[in-house]
Structure 1
Amino acid sequence: MHNSLKLSLYGIGFGFAAIWLIPFVWVIRTAFLPKEAAIGSGWTSEWTFNNIVHVWNGAPFGQFMLNTVFVTGGVLVVQLITLTMAAYAFARIRFVGRNLLFMLFLVQIMVPPDALIFSNYQVLNEMGLLDTKVGIMLPYFASAFGVFLLRQSFKQLPYELEEAARVEGASRLRILSTIYVPLSRPIYVSFAIVSVSFHWNDFLWPLIVTNSEENRLLTVGLAMFAKSTESGAQWSDVSAATLIVSAPIMIGFLLFQRQVIGSFMNSGIKG
């Protein structure tokens, strides 16, 4: 009975995995099929790189890729700095109204980002940052979710470590860099994965803020390419463009899947 239940659970798991995997496999196959074979109903073993080359040269995907890497990396770097400082303040520094301020800070988690698009757009317009990479990044420089995760991790660490460092004359910044940050590495890795995945795949905010190819991201470039009259009915080109957008994230996961899984396994949050 126990073995049959385990086999049933494995079967359900593989079934859900197949449902997720089939569309991605179809995109990969179509991206390398000749255009005539992509719209046909039969099966063929023919394949070609011409679709990837045609798409890469037909739209500035190289520029889109550089923009996306810059925005994603820039947001992550600033987030790691701001959430480290905020998490340490909420976890270890005593000040009046700390708990109330932290609860108000967490309200950001309950507010959908799309609900702030209009107000953020007005602020960027007044600052003259529309259609700029800084304008795309600015609303995400702080993360209440990251602060919450890191604060819980900092609170779990023995306070005696900080007291010993203070006796040796260490400053707060040195304590952060030598004690709290290294011991909270799984939290940082887990948050970095979530942040990079979100901002790499973000579409609505970059679409609203940017108007020029010099500042568009991959997701917006893909949408523009797919809607163009030249590629709208050419599934091989659209699939090739989709593969260009999604391949870096998928390759990164396959290369670092052990570290990715390990970071989430070791980043459990205690009360």
Structure 2
Amino acid sequence: MSRFDRTLWITGAALLALLWVAPFLYAVWTAIHPSAYEAHFTLTAPLTWQNFVKAWNAAPFARYFLNTFVLVTGITAAQFVLCTLAAYGFARFAFPGRDILFALVLLQLLVMPDILIVENYQTIRAFHLVDTLAAIALPYVASGFGIFLIRQTFMTVPRELDDAARIEGAGPLKILWRVYVPLAKPTYLAYGLVSVSYHWNNFLWPLIVTNSVTTRPVTVGLSVFATTDSGVEWSVINAATLMTSAPLLVAFLLFQRQFVQSFMRAGIK
């Protein structure tokens, strides 16, 4: 690559990074300064944490964070179990209709989740689960992407390891747990990070199926800051937004190397 091409790529990457960083920096600025400085940028502007205090006291964020943690943890755990079993079956067992069923799994990847909102809501209402954490989680406990990703990893495991485990007397589930799962750890980490990020930020479906504070996740809780009697308070809104996104930002900064390496080892392009 020539010096000109390299400079061009670096310039393009810097511009794209600026497009993402600029709104974030504005959110940080407004969150740590009084509302009078929302559009008044000066180095002498006084710093304040009152926006965070006001945002925290304006809504039961402790409950929202607890709901979100339970929700994200439960969905990810269920996906790991169900996707692992399905991926193992597709990768290592021959049965009638296997290819057709796997094609249906891949077809599911083409369907936007928002398209199924009406049908999912009718199902949840039929089971009397509206306004519960289960209502938020049930449409996501299985994932076509997770099945596909883990299956592709299992397909790379040499069959000789299966034979060696069977000689030692191991059954299918023990082989899965002792052989396949340890070898697929990078894939689980990659998929887990994607799943946690998606469900932490999911808004539309939780908004539709929840009505009370006891079941709302943190993203829906943010909607309480949309308007106030005195109008929109961007400083408080941005403070609340930073509070809700902080766990994901901190997690990515701490595990960014493992995040990139896990995707590379998992074969995700």
What TM-score do the two structures reach when normalised by structure 1? 0.95
Structure 1: which 4+ aligned runs deviate by more than 6 Å?
none
Equivalence for 1:113: 113
Cα distance in 2 for partners of 1:269, 1:56 equals: 39
Alignment of 1:83-98 (within 5 A): 83-98=83-98
Instruction: Point out the more displaced range, 73-82 or 36-45.
Output: 36-45
1:160 equivalent in alignment to 2:173? no
> 1:267 corresponds to which letter in structure 2?
A
**Cα drift, residue 104 of structure 1:** 1.5
1:151 equivalent in alignment to 2:148? no
Equivalence for 1:242: 241
Give yes or no for contact 1:37–1:44 (8 Å, CA) kept in 2: no
Equivalence for 1:266: 265
Distance 1:269 1:48, change over 3 A: closer
Alignment of 1:29-40 (within 5 A): 29-38=29-38, 40=40
Aligned residues: 269
- Tell me the SS of whatever aligns to 1:110: coil
> 2:172 corresponds to which letter in structure 1?
R
Cα distance in 1 for partners of 2:74, 2:206 equals: 15
Equivalence for 1:139: 139
> 1:227 corresponds to which letter in structure 2?
T
**Cα drift, residue 133 of structure 1:** 0.2
Alignment of 1:150-189 (within 5 A): 150-189=150-189
What TM-score do the two structures reach when normalised by structure 2? 0.96
Equivalence for 2:21: 21
> 2:174 corresponds to which letter in structure 1?
R
- Tell me the SS of whatever aligns to 1:215: coil
**Cα drift, residue 42 of structure 1:** 4.9
Cα distance in 2 for partners of 1:39, 1:226 equals: 19
**Cα drift, residue 233 of structure 1:** 2.2
Equivalence for 1:208: 208
Cα distance in 2 for partners of 1:217, 1:239 equals: 18
**Cα drift, residue 2 of structure 1:** 0.7
> 1:265 corresponds to which letter in structure 2?
M
Which digits, 9 at most, give the CA deviation of each residue in 1:178-208, with x for residues without a partner? 1101111111111111111110111100000
Distance 1:124 1:5, change over 3 A: same
How high is the sequence identity, in percent, across the aligned residues? 47
Give yes or no for contact 2:34–2:46 (8 Å, CA) kept in 1: yes
> 2:265 corresponds to which letter in structure 1?
N
Which digits, 9 at most, give the CA deviation of each residue in 1:149-176, with x for residues without a partner? 1111101110110110011001222111
Equivalence for 2:44: 44
Equivalence for 2:62: 62
Give yes or no for contact 1:152–1:269 (8 Å, CA) kept in 2: no
Cα distance in 2 for partners of 1:6, 1:51 equals: 43
- Tell me the SS of whatever aligns to 1:95: coil
> 1:83 corresponds to which letter in structure 2?
C
Gap runs ≥5 in structure 2: none
